[in-house]
Chain A
Amino acid sequence: EAQVTQNPRYLITVTGKKLTVTCSQNMNHEYMSWYRQDPGLGLRQIYYSMNVEVTDKGDVPEGYKVSRKEKRNFPLILESPSPNQTSLYFCASSKTSGRWETQYFGPGTRLLVL
């Protein structure tokens, strides 16, 4: 089944403790992206990747890192999480970058930073 998977689905952590949220897709997609969803703010793009080793900042990249060493994986790294990073995170992928490509979203990871 074609899908985007995220792990973990739920995570409670404490301020400053490094964490990684994994994202994997099995559709051989070139483009992948991370978003966060917050009440009253909708979805905001954090980082995106057009292909392996090609990443760029989205609208709200501060406090996050990403890497794209393999085509299928696009982990989101929070080196020193803070409470304002408490949010619902979505990973998405599409066949290529470009307006016409449909993005497929993962099920989301709910993060609480205490």
Chain B
Amino acid sequence: DQQVKQNSPSLSVQEGRISILNCDYTNSMFDYFLWYKKYPAEGPTFLISISSIKDKNEDGRFTVFLNKSAKHLSLHIVPSQPGDSAVYFCAASYTGNQFYFGTGTSLTVIP
């Protein structure tokens, strides 16, 4: 059973606008959440993370929000750039050894 879900397989956004990618999880034990970005023919690369003791973490154009009561996290990219076009995976862990990934959202930023 999928413990981490990304319900939007794809998202298209105009360059300069905000991209919002969503992720839901079912396991309340998860206490650490990550976002990875993946280009075709490459492995995923780490983007940003958040601990369950926080509700927001920022890194440049990227901000992750965590709503523990709703078991929901989101990644905001502002402003979106064409180079942000990629597949984004959210992931969660509570042991630090096992990681559970979502199904991915393919983001297209239109110039």
Binding site for B on A (CB under 8 A): 4, 31, 33, 35, 40-45, 48, 50, 56, 58-59, 90, 92, 97-108
B46 and A103 form a contact (CB under 8 A): yes
Q: A108 to B104, alpha carbons, bound, how many Å?
A: 16
Which residues on the A side are within 8 Å of B91 (C-beta)?
43
B98 and A108 form a contact (CB under 8 A): no
A107 and B41 form a contact (CB under 8 A): yes
Interface size grouping (class) on chain B? 20 to 34
B44 and A42 form a contact (CB under 8 A): no
Per-residue A-contact encoding for B96-110, CB less than 8 Å = 1, 0 else: 111111111000000
A-B contact count (CB 8 A): 61
**Is B15 among interface residues, defined by CB-CB distance under 8 A?**
no
B43 and A90 form a contact (CB under 8 A): yes
Known contacts A99-B31, A99-B32, A105 near B99 by CB under 8 Å = no
Q: A43 to B97, alpha carbons, bound, how many Å?
A: 15
Closest 3 CB pairs of A and B: A105-B43, A99-B32, A43-B101
Binding site for A on B (CB under 8 A): 2, 4, 6, 31-32, 36, 41-46, 49, 51, 89, 91, 93, 96-104
B102 and A4 form a contact (CB under 8 A): no
Known contacts A43-B44, A92-B43, A103-B46, A97 near B103 by CB under 8 Å = no
Known contacts A99-B31, A99-B93, A45 near B100 by CB under 8 Å = yes
Known contacts A43-B89, A45-B98, A58-B98, A105 near B32 by CB under 8 Å = no
Q: A105 to B39, alpha carbons, bound, how many Å?
A: 12
Which residue of chain B lies nearest to A56 when distances are taken between CB atoms in the complex?
B97
A106 and B43 form a contact (CB under 8 A): yes
B96 and A99 form a contact (CB under 8 A): yes
Which residues on the A side are within 8 Å of B51 (C-beta)?
99
In angstroms, how far is the closest chain A Cβ from the Cβ of B58? 17
